[in-house]
Amino acid sequence: MSGIAYELALANLSRSDGMAPPAVDKTPLLHRYHPDYQEGTRTRLTIGANRGDECPTRLATLLQSNAQITDADLAGAPVINTEVLVIGGGGAGSAAALTAAEQGRRVILATKLRLGDSNTVMAEGGIQAAVGEDDSLQRHFEDTLRAGHLCADRTLVARLAESGPDCIRWLINRGMLFDLAEGTPVGGKLLRKKPGGATCARILSYHDYTGLELMRVLREAVELDDRIALWNRCPLVELLSDESGQCVGAVLYNLDWHGFILVRASRVILATGGAGRLHLNDFPTSNHYGATADGLVLAYRMGARLRELDSFQYHPTGLAWPSHLVGGLISEAARSAGAWLINGEGNRFVDELQPRDVVAAAILKECAEGRGVERDGNLGVFLDTPGLERRHPGILGERLVSLGHLAHRCGIDPTTEPMMVRPTLHYQNGGVEIDEHGATAIPGLYCAGEITGGIHGRNRMMGNALLEIIAFGRRAGQHAGATASPKPAPKVGLYHLYDWQRQIILSGLPAEVCGPCLFPDYGNFDLRRDLVLRASAPGAVQAMVAGMTPS
């Protein structure tokens, strides 16, 4: 696949001034060029609640994998009791932990890396909420359903839309900053922008690093709440069950002390994020290092049903050049502000504010048909930042701060040179089936955030992810906190694994393939090898426990 040489494409760029984009026929475009529809990239599941459904091959391998541990690994491991265990230190997990703690519950928040190391901090564009006079909850509901190809759970979408205004108040009351409309005094109207696929302006933002600002206030709140015991660097390895199939806790692995910890909990909330670091279909990704579908794999193993397993979002504007930054995200805030997408011939080829799947497919079409821009062996199209700056002087420096930093890392001045972009694996549209409280079909197990399915259908709108993590993180935390018992289950173990391993054997799947993987392949992390280090520090795990027990 080749394109138009960079220097020639740059010379053609001025042709786009004043040009309107052509109309596109969405259905054939998606079916021919969007990665979700490509033949030979999916595998049919043969075990579990979604037996017979298809999903990307790499994800299918993990969903049908054997456990990383056995009962023998847990012998002598310390056991800690809590009422609510939240796993995941992004926005959804933090919102869930704070809300459960407000119910007076003892909460442990465990995260694979550190609190805030998540996709939340990379969400640049903003958060949706119907707060404008020309907007309504009904319009937000309808826009979300339409963008998701009418596949979403209508009850979940309704809860998402109706939660928007209250979620914004909840964040502002905790100190989150938002951009104000031009000429508005402090405390005035919030600046609203129009996201792709919406019928009116609904995005609220703080510059182009809204997720970072949101996570700032959540991190501060979690760290200052003495009802929450925060465990950094403690990834989830397996869920715990009782003889009736209820989720009664989890097995965590402490990366600093190289040992397992059993946490018995009345309620478990998984907020472990998505699967971007699996690099499905060999795409680069905008996701953080820990996004390896761990919670999805373990919820499925315990018996939870998944939905829209074959649907993933490829964000239209990932970096296509330079090579060492390929996949890095350029926020939709740039297109929302008016930046155009231009092919190597100097033409606009799609309405930049169409839904993300349509825009991504249109870019892939330009590249496949030879109209892309080629530079140093990399292929993409132009995001015309110089044209945006000409039409709106000062906008790059005032409103698109993160874009400027990213351009600097690329070695270019975005006011005079366009950025090269191409779709990057960005979001898991589907996930674990939940009800309006975040509860799964497994008693005691909740999910919130990107791990869940049903809210976005087969395509997510910009800004609905940040709203989802707050809306459903709070809902899961509230319900789990309200229904949790102060007494842990009397008998916990790996009971669900016995049936799972029988399924593996009967289906002929390789029993030696184990999951979750915890880190991407190039991280060179192997749990069994890491366990060897425990032998060099006898008593270390026991010494650790004293400082980790919630008060």
Domains delineated in the chain: 4-33+316-424 (3.90.700.10), 71-311+429-483 (3.50.50.60)
106 included as an active-site residue = no
Inter-CA distances, 509 with 46, 53, 54, 62, 296, Å: 9, 16, 16, 11, 19
Predicted pLDDT of residue 15: 74
Q: How far apart are the first and last CA of the chain?
A: 60
31 included as an active-site residue = no
The one-character DSSP state at 307 is E
Spell out, as residue ranges, where the chain has pLDDT lower than 50: 551
What lies within 8 Å, CB to CB, of 308 at 6+ separation is 151, 429, 430, 431, 453, 454, 457, 458
For residue range 357-398, list pLDDT tens digits in order: 999 999 999 999 999 999 999 999 999 999 999 999 999 998
- Give me the catalytic one of 58, 106, 335, 474: 335
For residue range 155-166, list pLDDT tens digits in order: 999 999 999 999
d(CA 117, CA 360): 27
List residues bridging with 54 in a β-sheet.
44
Inter-CA distances, 213 with 97, 379, 465, 485, Å: 18, 33, 15, 34
Q: What is the dihedral of CA 520, 521, 525, 529, to 10 degrees?
A: 140
- Give me the catalytic one of 34, 315, 371, 399: 315
Rounded to two decimals, what is the model's pTM?
A: 0.94
Predicted pLDDT of residue 184: 63
Predicted pLDDT of residue 549: 57
Predicted pLDDT of residue 539: 57
Helix residue spans in 56-102 (DSSP H): 57-63, 71-74, 91-102
Vertex 494 angle, CA 430 and 114, to 5°:
55
Helix or strand run (H / E) with residue 42: strand 42-44
